[in-house]
Amino acid sequence: MMLTLALLAGLVVAWLLIGVIETFRLGLRFTQALLYVPFKLAWRIADDRIRIARSARTPVIYVVSHQSRIEPALMLSLLPDDTLHILDEASARSPWLEPWRELARTIAFNAEHIFVSRRLVRLLKGNGRLAVYLPDTVEPDVKSFRLFRAITRIAMQADARIVPIFVAGTRDLPLSLTPADKAPRHWFPRLSLSVLEPMTIAELVARNPDQASNTNAMFDRFAEARLYGTNLDRGLFLAMRDAATRVGASHPIIEDVISGALSYRRMFIGARVLGRRFEAVTAPGEAVGLLLPNANGVVLSFVGLISAARVAAMINYTAGPASVTAAIRTAVIRTVVSSRAFIEKAGIADIVAAVEAGGAKMLWLEDVRESVTVLDKVAAALFWRFPLQGQQAAKPAVILFTSGSEGMPKAVVLSHRNLLANAMQAEARITISPADILLNVLPVFHSFGLTGGTILPLVTGVKLFLYPSPLHYKLIPEVARKVKPTVMFGTDTFLANYARTAKDGDFSSLRFVVAGAEAVKPETRRVYRDRFQASIIEGFGLTEAAPVVAVNTAIHNRDGTVGRLLPAIRMKLEPVEGITDAGRLWLDGPNMMMGYMTAERPGELQPLEGWHDTGDIVSVDRDGFITIRGRAKRFAKIAGEMVSLGAVEMLVQSLWPEERHAVVAVPDKRRGERIVLVTTAGDASAEELRQFGKKAGAAELMVPGDIVKVEEIPVLGSGKTDYVSARKLAIDRLGLGVAA
């Protein structure tokens, strides 16, 4: 009995002592600290940033992501005790929360009256503090979004600062408000507080003045807190390992058509075995080429390289021998990892020759597998959770080569932080969970296929099914019928071709399709909506941005646009001569590349300093939805007038929606340039197009006078139209070789 009393007394003394420490460390009242201690000990909360919230000058509104039943108790323990907390009905009535509710003023949420009450504005104007708990959803429905509008309105009327708060990890607690299949439960995950600096609505709008909506500015700031709930300085390997811990090491994470499914544990074991072999023949920080298709092997090799602190240089084997040789030399790649079986099946021996011509040696996976011993496998099975080398998020992780749709490819260097930030920016805007299955047909040498189609699922626990070629138009719908993906990534060219060969039930499992790289045509969108009941959400990106910049969502979307900027990305528009309602897009954000490598200075990183000029001409509506008007290089100057070749393509597509088209500009002695249509429409006529353009109200300058008919439009491996080849084809057919 005495021993029991002594233990209890010891626990009480320890509790009081820790409470005293927390009182001084965080500036809490002693009663707050005492009720905070159980949370601190149970979940080892990283709470340093709560000081930002506590020191925020009044009036202030704390906007808290309500993911579980513990956020109200946590905030009552940590926020200043003069804060008025607006609790949801369950929290306002829950018996176990009673001690915490005594720490500050609380009122129950009233959906009909609370956010139109003048009382809240008066409270804030009197140097008050308000804590509001918003539902944990990255795509709020209309009803939920009304809360954002109401908070924005109150903040503006009271000139209050907004402080977003996100408690990372509570989504996985047994007290989570998210269904267990979407957020696997853990009793004692480590929690961390993501708290952003206080800003007024006017200050938030000023960060991106071209996105004029006050409510969207607040919504975007709230999403940033979710983004920074992830430790972006952990590096890709550790982020993937964290996901494995969260969803379970035995959770199936990757699958292909040959090797079958691999769990996180098996993936990391295989990656460690390969990483050891890569370590033996390369140096830390060295660029190592990956020349592999979408299959489990490319993921294992990629993870093995980053575990070993090597830089994965993704080789575009569809770019042609000259581009591959240039890539090898530009990035100073000495070793390229590939598979003999793949090279033989794909018939790309000329690419291997191009690699060797660039000065690199081939490392064949077949040879690596034969050299693996039982001891290697045992060691990998024991230490799979640990990277082979120290991970530094600021160091280069990947080298990608731009598509070259308008010229020679450039080497883009992306850090671990760039890639992880972009994946989590997407996760903060699009609803995905471990209950999803993602079908990725986009090659990993394409930035969209790498970050969105590979890294994003690996760091979020979404099962990834890899298919080796996006060009198998008849086979991919059959694969989708068997795999039953809920999410798919693609481009308009690929998606349109899949729809032509698919049976009605092939894509019936899809919730949505994320489309990028080129504009989605209305007909493609209609087919997927009507036949498969799947939404196509269109986005926009560039390799230099790792790559996603903006995206529509299933709920917040506007057809014809590429959506709104992802969280933490800033933009500015530079005026362009001859264009009054759009501008040249410049970007800044944590996802922007480290810099370029060029053929003139091989292996030397030329760092990006400040804003990045995308070369895209865009317009932005009052709600921040971005419309791509075209590349700056995709504008023709005809008799002094600027004409968007992309707009001409859309006009042509409206007339002949079943065909594929590429509009290019070629030299013209009299007017500077003229527009040529390259098309698969065998019966296309210039007169029919002229009459259609006249009815559509198109300027006469926009209507191509020359039509070049082809069997197929040239396409890059990424799915984009190859405008360089299309223009050359047009020049050759029209006999303009000398003029060009």
**Integer CA distances (angstroms), 30 to 52, 103, 687, in order:** 19, 10, 83
Q: Give the total residue count for the chain.
A: 740
Residue 196 DSSP code: P
Q: How far apart are CA 170 and CA 164, in angstroms?
A: 16
Residues 182/125, Cβ–Cβ less than 8 Å: no
Task: Note if 66 is an active site residue.
Answer: yes
Among 689, 678, 628, CA closest to 656? 689
Helix (H) or strand (E) holding 265: helix 264-281
Q: How far apart are CA 728 and CA 740, in angstroms?
A: 9
Residue 136 DSSP code: S
Q: Tell whether the torsion through CA atoms of 282, 285, 290 and 296 is positive or negative.
A: positive
For the record, the structure tokens of 601 come out as 């200075």
For the record, the structure tokens of 2 come out as 């005495």
Q: Which residues pair with 540 in a beta bridge?
A: 550
Helix (H) or strand (E) holding 583: strand 579-588
Question: What does the longest C-alpha to C-alpha distance in the chain come to?
Answer: 104
Q: Which residues pair with 515 in a beta bridge?
A: 490, 538
For the record, the structure tokens of 428 come out as 């903060």
Virtual torsion, Cα 520, 522, 526, 532, nearest 10 deg? -10
E strands, 105-155, in order: 105-108, 129-135
Which residue's entry shows tokens 């024991």?
382
Pairs from 682-690 (Cβ < 8 Å, separation ≥ 24) = 682/709, 684/656, 684/659, 684/709, 688/655, 689/652, 689/655
Q: What are phi and psi of 129, to 5 degrees?
A: -130, 140
* Ordered strands of the 661-668 beta sheet: 661-668, 672-679, 706-709
Residue in 66, 416, 556, 661 annotated catalytic: 66
For the record, the structure tokens of 218 come out as 């607040």
Catalytic residue positions? 66
